[in-house]
Structure 1
């Protein structure tokens, strides 16, 4: 194993660190931008960081630990490359396991009033996310799953920070992007646009839409 890029353990939850960065990249050694964003997050005094692929290589997620970190945070950052118009597999599993019914939604309110921020990169340039481009849709078309995940948990979905064309943009643009990310972490929640954003939407899941305790575990 290459130890140069091996992730150190996540720091323990700290009330003085209102940001929890959940980073997911299957191969940090091949990352041109996300690896630097991860380094910037680790250097931030305001953030606790978890590299999912380093902490859970067996895909067995410590749900109580992750839920405790989320409860300690006010801002949750999902940091990852866009893969097949979505997130890496382990991050999807993290969402499935950690944002449990009765805890994050459906009678649970552990994340109510918190902020969710997507920080992502794409391999294709911005122009490829266009009806006449090879990705066929504007990038915003791939955001509803993130937005609705936040809404269902009573969280405010902040405007994403996306760098397109991560394989090809020049070094100066990468430097500026990483610097802006670090600045945002340092200044949260003093972001001018937050004053104008509406609160969290209300998405109540009726009890009739979920199985009763007698049938929990049954497959649908």
Structure 2
């Protein structure tokens, strides 16, 4: 296999994927990419009995970690919470000797049923996506990881097939660019979401 600048682990979580028109299509753009490990947590652990050592080894083997999930009640699906509670162990992921994840990069890929205007200070939800993701961002910080803004697909209840295709193509483009080390990470930090202007953060 070709040596890539970054190996990427996508931790996917959707408890009712059969009912998801958008996520079922989005993942098809990244599941078969070289240098990318796609890991469906609900498929791997339908009983929530998470293999901690296996998950820790996956983290060690990869440079960029992606949590891909719908936003459920302004948070992550239950298995992601369970995964974090069990896998990110004290003195392994954090603490005085917990340096296993130091320097790795982390971000979320998120879908929301609500439109983008709802996730503003003057919107009905009163907070931005980045603010709702504060627990993930802080967890990354405690583990010594570099957290980046999310890739977000808003308004999935009314999204068109053409829009889904466009988001899927952008998702694939972003993952490939990250894998190949062709993303200006400092520029990416200035955005509220990674896919607000991909052309400005992907280098040639």
Q: TM-score, normalised by structure 1?
A: 0.78
**Going by fraction, where is helix more abundant, 1 or 2?**
2
Specify the alignment match of 1:215 in structure 2: none
Report the secondary structure of 1:148's partner residue: helix
TM-score, with structure 2 as normaliser: 0.84
Higher RCO (C-alpha 8 Å, min separation 6):
2
**Cα distance between partner residues in 2 of 1:56 and 1:167:** 28
The answer as to 2:29 corresponding to 1:70 is: no
The Cα shift of 1:181 comes to 0.8
Q: Say if 1:15 and 1:72, in contact at 8 Å, map to a contact too.
A: no
Which structure: larger Rg?
1
Q: Per the alignment, do residues 36 and 197 of structure 1 end up closer, same or farther by CA in structure 2, a change over 3 Å counting?
A: closer
Contact 1:46 1:185 in 2 (8 A): no
Per-residue deviation, 1:141: 2.0
Instruction: Report the Cα distance in structure 1 between the residues aligned to 2:38 and 2:145, rounded to whole angstroms.
Output: 20
Structure 2 CA distance, aligned partners of 1:191 and 1:127? 30
Q: Counterpart of 1:126? A: 116
Cα separation, 2, equivalents of 1:74 and 1:149: 17
What SS class does the counterpart of residue 184 from structure 2 fall into?
helix
The number of equivalent residue pairs is: 185
Q: Where in structure 1 are there 5+ consecutive unaligned residues?
A: 1-13, 199-220
TM-fit CA distance, 1:196: 4.9
Instruction: Give, in angstroms, the shift of residue 169 of structure 1.
Output: 1.8
- Which of 164, 172, 177 is the equivalent residue of 2:167? 177
CA contact (8 A) 2:26 2:164 kept: no
Q: Residues 71 and 149 (structure 1 numbering): CA distance in 2 closer, same or farther, change over 3 Å?
A: same
- 1:195 Cα shift? 4.9
Evaluate the alpha carbon distance shift between residue 28 and residue 15 of structure 1 in structure 2; reply closer, same or farther with a 3 A threshold.
farther
Match of 2:127 in 1: 137
**Per-residue deviation, 1:139:** 2.5
Match for residue 150 of structure 1? 140
- The reply on whether 1:101 has 2:77 as its aligned counterpart is no
CA distance in 2, matches of 1:37, 1:110: 30
Change (3 A) 1:179 1:144: same
Distance 1:176 1:99, change over 3 A: same
Structure 2 residue ranges without an equivalent (≥5): 190-204
Report the more deviating stretch, 65-74 or 143-152. Answer: 143-152
Find the partner of 1:52 among 25, 37, 41: 41
**Is residue 185 of structure 2 the alignment partner of residue 194 of structure 1?**
yes
Distance 2:187 2:168 in 1: 25
